[in-house]
Amino acid sequence: MSDLCCGGDGAPEPRRGRPTPNLTPAPASRAPASVTCSCCSGGDARGRPRPVTADSASDGGHAGAGETADADGCGDPTCGAGAPEPEENPGAWWNSATVRWAGLAGVLWLSGLVGEWLAPVPVLATVLFAGAIAAGGWTFVPGTLRALVRGRLGVGTLMTVAMAGAVLLGEVGEAAMLAFLFSLAEALEDHAVARTRHGLRALLDLVPPRATVLREGRETTVDPAELDVGDLLLVRPGERIATDGVVRAGRSTVDTSTVTGESVPVEAVEGTGVFAGTVNGGGALEVEASARVADNSLSRVVHIVEREQARRGAAQRLAARIARPLVPGILVAAALIAVAGSLFGDPGVWVERALVVLVAASPCAFAIAVPVTVVAAIGSASRSGVLVKGGAALESFGTVRVVALDKTGTLTRNAPAVVAVAPAHGRTREEVLALAAALEARSEHPLAAAILASHPDPAPARDVAAVAGNGLTGTSADGTPLRLGRPGYIDPGPLAPEVARLQEQGATTVLVEADGRLVGAVAIRDELRGEAAEAVAALHRMGVRTVMLTGDNERTARALAARVGIDEVHADLRPEDKSALVSALRRHGPVAMVGDGVNDAPALATADTGVAMGAMGTDVAIETADVALMGEDLRALPRALAHARRARRIMLQSLLLSGAILLVLIPLSAFGVLGLAAVILTHELAEVLVIANGVRAGRRAPVTVSPSASSDADAARTPEHT
């Protein structure tokens, strides 16, 4: 429903909320029973928006042939309409009852015009016009009357009054034209919204209709809805994976393009996590289910998008603030025109002008300009592996002029490896690694995994303790005191030139000490994403300023930044430091912070737009960020930004067009320059143009990003770790 039908704003909207509501994933087998509505549903006892179901939204849901998406106003597709069932095909416009009623009204109206011209007796034309009024009015008059009973006024109210007034004045043909054109515009709006929603819901159709489960050594075919956590699935070559899981046996490649937007298949071996809806390649896999179908990644994405579509951005709130008081104001102005004109002139002329003003001032196109664009743009983004959390996030992202990027896991692959070992005089490479591995044996730090990969199965040190921000201490198996940590915590001594050289090459260096004597240095680098430089270059071509924020040392950070083309670097940062820097950057324009959605949570929350990288299957990342890139390809970032910018331009175009038409039509109709027929035609044409313009946001904006960084090329590159 449109904000026009609402008695209030619903739940208050902060500048940039980061809600973490209870997540109740929708069953994959059908659309959810409700969609959270922030503008029409009021709220519960705690002020949270209530869900509006297809049953409860009797003034706006698709509950029957006699109702449009918003019977008493112009439909806001982010609010109040139940999602279509997956089996419906919104591409077949004739399946819509609203379209059929509008078509019948059009046929009857045109037949009435022909009858009026041919028949000497006007009775036939009058009957046909009456039929057109009944058919067209059936799509919005019942809902309008129900809304009036509840004290709500909407655009449907204006159209009903104008249609009834035209009939009373004997202008039955013009009333029939109004009924036809308004019902047609509403039908087109319903169809456009249904198509964009169907694109999102079609993600759930990626789950195969049947799944093969291995139980007691036997293959059993079951409905995916019957799968439980721990079930072992057999996925043959070419089959879709029914739910999220972990590969327990087999080796293959998995095409994730339909879910993450990445075009290059990823390798799947034992221990690899896989997602629902992805396609198995050339080898058979045994996958242990880690989620039920109703709780898997696809269901979560669809549920979150449909829930967050109700979050309204600045443009949508502005349109609501202007449009909401406009309807009662129009009714008062029309009444004054009719009364005052009748006192000083011909009552018939001025009553007719008042009716024309009612139609001319209807803010239907203005009210739907932003919602139609939001639904189209968000649905399109989700199908390309980008999750946008509602209209507020889309608008905010479209204004971004500064992008702050975390280093680890964003510009790099978060897969550190040992690249060099520098032993002190009299020590060996193996001795340095053995002592370092002894201290890191039970550590969960990413650097520990790199050291243990170079020296597996060490003899663990005893009494290991972490020294916050510096390193580790402990005792070797033979009782020798050990220390491991960054330069500064441990003096590099004669290895200082070598440590500096390794840091300048982008490596993180740790020093190892035994019994107070330096043993050696271990250099670790995190592999730079092969596409990182291309993504940064694409952002620069879009006029975006890029900044690196990292907790790593200055030398390492600047070495990596130089390779990807980032000039501004802030290093040695704690999480709270990143948040403070983002606040400072906002003085230069809207800022997007790109991180992993967990460690960078303060900075993500501070930025105008928080972007989580590689969020597929990560609840925290999806919930905390405004925008989540489901895949691991950083080139999705400039593409998503270009898409948001284009959607924002389309919103502004539609708002300006709608506002300009209102400013022109109202005075012309009030002074009698335009008649009812001309105003109706102009008004409904404007609505059709706004809907068509908004649907354009469903097409993705082209961005020039070099395709040279394929996964094969990445694998062939020299690892770039920081």
Q: Indicate which residues carry an active-site annotation.
A: 406
Write out the DSSP string of 416-444.
EEEEEEEEPTT--HHHHHHHHHHHHTT--
Handedness of CA 229, 233, 237, 239 (dihedral sign): negative
**Token pair for 266:** 């990823």
Residue that is written with structure tokens 């979050």 in the block: 311
Distance from C-alpha of 368 to C-alpha of 185, rounded to nearest angstrom:
11
Contact 542, 638 (CB under 8 A): yes
Q: Is 109 exposed, middle or buried (0-12, 13-18, 19+ CB in 10 A)?
A: buried
Question: Which residue, 94, 92, 104, is CA-closest to 139?
Answer: 104
CB atoms within 10 A of CB 494: 11
Secondary structure class of 200 (helix, strand, coil):
helix
**Token pair for 613:** 């990288």
Handedness of CA 6, 12, 16, 22 (dihedral sign): negative
* Pairing assessment for the beta strands 402-406 and 591-595 based on DSSP bridges: parallel
Distance from C-alpha of 703 to C-alpha of 539, rounded to nearest angstrom:
10
- Cα distances from 162 to residues 67, 168, 682, in angstroms, run 19, 10, 16
Going along 216-284, which residue ranges are E strands? 218-222, 232-235, 245-250, 252-255, 266-268, 273-274, 279-280
DSSP lists the bridge partners of residue 274 as: 245
Distance from C-alpha of 344 to C-alpha of 485, rounded to nearest angstrom:
92
In the chain, the amino acid numbered 662 is: L
Q: Is 180 exposed, middle or buried (0-12, 13-18, 19+ CB in 10 A)?
A: buried
Secondary structure class of 323 (helix, strand, coil):
helix
Contact 362, 552 (CB under 8 A): no
- Cα distances from 315 to residues 76, 179, 706, in angstroms, run 14, 30, 34
Distance from C-alpha of 192 to C-alpha of 197, rounded to nearest angstrom:
9
- Cα distances from 302 to residues 72, 125, 127, 170, 305, in angstroms, run 28, 50, 48, 51, 5
Distance from C-alpha of 133 to C-alpha of 354, rounded to nearest angstrom:
20
Question: Which residue, 367, 403, 387, 369, is CA-closest to 643?
Answer: 387
Contact 327, 155 (CB under 8 A): yes
Write out the DSSP string of 10-59.
-S---SS--------PPPTTS--SEEE-SSSS---TTSPPPEEETTT-TT
Distance from C-alpha of 271 to C-alpha of 251, rounded to nearest angstrom:
10
Secondary structure class of 497 (helix, strand, coil):
helix
Question: Which residue, 135, 158, 157, is CA-closest to 65?
Answer: 135
**Token pair for 495:** 């290895």
